[in-house]
Amino acid sequence: MGSHVAPNRQRRRHALPLPNRRRRAPAAPMAIGLMLLAVLLGVPRAEGAPVSADACGATGTGLPRGDCGPFWQVLAEDFNGDRVPLGAFSDCDHRVDTSAAYCGGLSGMYRDNWWAYPTGWRDTANDRDRDVVGVYHPEDTVSVGPAENGDGRMYIRMWRPADGGPVHAAAVVPRAVMQMKYGKYSARIKVTKLAPGYKSAWLHYGGSCEMDHPEGEWTGDLTAFHHPCGGGEQGYFPGSDEWTRWHTVSTEWTPGHVRFFVDGRQTGHDTRDVPDQPLSWVLQNESALQGPGAAPGSSAQLDITWVAVYAYGWK
């Protein structure tokens, strides 16, 4: 499933276990152009209020509640409820990759709303001739609980054993919105512990279609990609936002359009062969496809403080 190594990278899938300088423009036109760019990109205005370009127009950092624009909210999770200890995201090989998939180790609302790639599934690096590869292990990488400030979070802590074995990777899936056609998919995230060799590729994929956002090695910046369903050159939308700062990331998928946002700023837009079939949203985190591999005994962590998903046109 969806990862990349260069602007012309190929799409990937999860692997099952084997049993010249430009002349300066006149000052006035340049100033006007910069002002327009600031508005379009959502740069804070003089009075401090950011301009949000996404459908909800949200400028805050908290979990958004309620419908907006053409979107109807169907999932709002701030992880402030039950705790989920390490070990609970286990026994996840039931009805895999379907809306009926579940993890036997989970209970209550988390069993109803979440699934994870089962233990033993191999990550993308296994198909990329990387020296360091990963294997999904949700049981020892995913947990839910309060941070030191009391904020509820889902923790994705990937690690590599000291003996130099494969990276323990994690891909979690909001089960409540699996196989949903169109929608708005948002989350607030931050890498709270950094180490080389770890990355994310949150994606929608199916058939020959794929939309990836955010994606990238955690030591770099958030980027986005779109692989048109009919093939052809992928849409590549590089970013300048670091994984180690809090960001709200969103994908808005509507008929004929896919748009990517970071903190309300549109960072990418494509209209070429956009998917028109139900797809699942996979929060995939795995071993790096570029740069050095994870060192033996190393670990890195991504925190998710909320997730919000909206259906499109259901009303």
Residues 79-91: tens digit of each pLDDT:
998 999 999 999 9
d(CA 244, CA 239): 14
* pLDDT at residue 74 tops 70: yes
Instruction: Tell me the pLDDT band of 60, cut-offs 50, 70 and 90.
Output: confident
Of the candidates 286, 290, 272, 216, the one whose C-alpha atom is nearest the C-alpha of residue 249 is: 216
Q: Furthest-apart CA pair in the chain: how many Å?
A: 67
Neighbouring-strand partners of residue 296: none
Tell me the average pLDDT of the chain: 87
User: Which residue ranges form the domains of the chain, and what is each CATH number?
Assistant: 23-52 (no CATH), 57-312 (2.60.120.200)
Residue 285 pairs in a beta bridge with 170, 200
Read off the pLDDT band of 43 (50, 70, 90). very low
Q: Which amino acid type is present at position 77?
A: E
Give the tokens for residue 235. Answer: 């849409």
Q: Which of 2-6, 127-131, 204-208, 230-234 has the lowest mean pLDDT?
A: 2-6
Does the structure show a pLDDT above 90 at 134? yes
pLDDT of residue 51: 59
Closest-CA residue to 17 (of 91, 122, 103): 122
In which band, very low, low, confident or very high, does the pLDDT at 231 lie, cut at 50, 70 and 90? confident
pLDDT confidence tier of residue 59, bands split at 50, 70 and 90: confident
pLDDT of residue 207: 84
Judged against a pLDDT cut of 80, whether residue 44 lies above it is answered with no
| pLDDT at residue number 315 | 58
pLDDT score of 102 more than 60: yes
Rounded Cα gap, residues 209 and 76, in angstroms: 26
